[in-house]
Chain A
């Protein structure tokens, strides 16, 4: 069983790596989608079915498409002459490595205290989730709704063509 985990994890990581390494931005978006898929599978592996499907629906279905749209809309000269990586990219790499080192170290330090597995599987139904959403988590729900509305309006306004004031 853990083989599945390692495979999916490898897939996700490969997708993530490809997303940040590839030259062609569309390829990056597609790799991102692969990564999202891998994550969804991981969610399913973790018995979080709703989260997994929500991941597929939202991320792959919406966010990845949005990214692709944005890439296509912002196509200029295809590959910048200085390369796809920014100046001082080594500093960024180093910082990321430092962050990973810290996090990994934190995890490994406390690895002994963490459950090794064989924890009881949760029995979570969509009904329960729905109930929780309107009872216990109603406030966050409403706020998220507000947030989404605002984001939508904001995105529209931001991306809208300006009226030509001076002709």
Chain B
């Protein structure tokens, strides 16, 4: 059995990769991809802790992860819908060009 720490490290690395993608890519959709990766990393964390926790039969970790998946799906839908709408108006998904909220 691999130590818990390894899972956690993998999750952390995946989270960082997803964050890096969200922070450095120009395309709005790729930002959402990064966010999905981050969510997944969090889910991995949850499941890992559930597995290595003292009471795995309590199901808490698993339920948490399942609900997280559901919410992530909803969020992906809405987010991508927004990106599509923005693309309709600005004819681009380049985030650097979208600074109408500049203050």
Q: Answer yes or no: are A and B bound together in one complex.
A: yes
Across the interface, which residues of A come within 8 angstroms of B48, CB to CB? 46
Complex Cα spacing A6 to B18, Å: 19
Chain B residues 1 to 28 lying within 8 A of chain A, measured CB to CB, are 1-10, 12-27
Judge whether A84 and B27 touch: CB under 8 Å: yes
| Count of A-B residue pairs with CB < 8 Å | 261
A contact residues around B40 at 8 Å (CB): 35-36, 39, 55, 59
28 contacts across the A-B interface (CB closer than 8 A)? A1-B1, A5-B2, A13-B13, A19-B33, A20-B18, A20-B24, A32-B37, A39-B44, A54-B69, A55-B40, A62-B73, A67-B29, A67-B36, A74-B29, A82-B26, A84-B27, A86-B95, A92-B22, A103-B15, A104-B9, A104-B12, A111-B3, A115-B52, A119-B51, A120-B56, A140-B63, A140-B67, A159-B84
Interface residues, chain B, with chain A CB atoms under 8 Å away: 1-10, 12-27, 29-30, 32-34, 36-37, 40, 43-44, 47-48, 50-52, 56-57, 59, 62-63, 65-67, 69-78, 80-85, 87-88, 91-96
Q: A residues engaging B (CB < 8 A)?
A: 1-2, 5-6, 9, 12-13, 16-17, 19-21, 25, 28-29, 32, 35-36, 39, 42-43, 46-48, 50-51, 54-55, 58-59, 62-63, 66-67, 69-71, 73-74, 76, 80, 82-87, 89, 91-93, 95-97, 99-100, 103-104, 107-108, 111, 114-124, 128-129, 132-133, 137, 140, 144, 147-148, 150-152, 154-156, 158-159, 161
For the complex with contacts A62-B73, A95-B23, 18 further pairs of A-B residues with Cβ separation under 8 Å are A2-B6, A32-B36, A42-B10, A55-B43, A55-B69, A58-B69, A66-B80, A67-B80, A71-B29, A74-B87, A89-B24, A100-B12, A100-B16, A114-B3, A152-B77, A158-B78, A158-B81, A159-B84
